[in-house]
């Protein structure tokens, strides 16, 4: 579950949230909190346009770069809006946030430093390739 999204796509038309739609994966190119915020904004527009609660497979969001720092509990006061938005979208099954354990190990970050809605994967790029092989399209 990755953020596979060129910055030029930020203004692109968002996909609809209807049953049977493709599975979506976001792609982070710049690996910044601002890029994550733009993607969450697009995802939020999907929630706002849905009739009722979304029933699609959530957009896969795999963090494996510097954008992950924004999600650490120690940085919550600085990134409150971003983390709260991600938590809300996760709660409504719009996104699925996962962090790369390899990145965590390389940066001395433990799972207890992440918010409870964030899960981990062994190696983010491998998960991204697996999702692409399963037919996930870029969001």
Say yes or no to pLDDT of 6 above 50.
no
Q: How many domains is the chain built from?
A: 1
Give the model's confidence band at 21: pLDDT under 50 very low, under 70 low, under 90 confident, else very high.
Answer: low
Residue 116 sits in a domain whose CATH number is 3.40.1260.10
| Joined tokens for residue 3 | 């953020």
Residue 17 within any structural domain of the chain? no
Position 7 in a domain: no
Q: Show the domain range for 101.
A: 23-138
0.85 exceeded by pTM: no
Q: Is residue 3 part of a domain?
A: no
- Give the pair of three-digit tokens for residue 133: 């092989």
Minimum mean pLDDT among 33-42, 48-57, 94-103, 117-126: which range?
48-57
128 has pLDDT over 70: yes
Q: Is 11 part of a structural domain of the chain?
A: no
Residue 105 has pLDDT above 60, yes or no: yes
Distances (CA, A) of 6 to 31, 63, 85: 11, 15, 21
Instruction: Classify residue 6: in a domain, yes or no.
Output: no
The DSSP secondary structure of 36-79, one letter per residue, reads: HHHHHHHHHHHHHHSSSS--SPPEEEEE-SGGGGGGSGGGHHHH
Instruction: Decide if 27 is inside a domain.
Output: yes
For residue 121, report the phi and psi dihedrals to the nearest 5 degrees.
-130, 150
pLDDT at 11 over 70: no
- Is pLDDT above 50 for 76? yes
Average pLDDT over residues 28-39: 93
First to last CA, the chain: 11
**Mean pLDDT score, 105-134:** 97
For residues 99 and 70, what is the distance between their CA atoms, to the nearest angstrom? Answer: 12
What does the block give as tokens for 66? 């510097």
User: Is residue 15 a part of any domain in this protein?
Assistant: no
- Is 66 part of any domain? yes
The answer, yes or no, to whether residue 5 has pLDDT greater than 80, is: no
pLDDT for position 61: 96
């Amino acid at each position: 579950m990755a953020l596979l999204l060129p910055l030029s796509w930020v203004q692109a038309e968002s996909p609809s949230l209807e049953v049977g739609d493709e599975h979506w994966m976001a792609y982070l190119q710049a690996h910044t909190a601002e890029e994550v915020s733009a993607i969450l904004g697009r995802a939020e527009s999907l929630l706002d346009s849905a009739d009722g609660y979304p029933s699609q497979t959530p957009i896969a969001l795999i963090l494996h770069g510097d954008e992950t720092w924004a999600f650490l509990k120690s940085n919550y006061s600085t990134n409150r809006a971003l983390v709260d938005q991600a938590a809300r979208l996760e709660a409504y099954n719009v996104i699925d946030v996962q962090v790369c354990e390899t990145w965590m190990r390389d940066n001395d970050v433990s799972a207890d430093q992440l918010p409870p809605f964030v899960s981990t994967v062994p190696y983010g790029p491998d998960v991204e390739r697996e999702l692409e092989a399963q037919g996930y399209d870029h969001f």
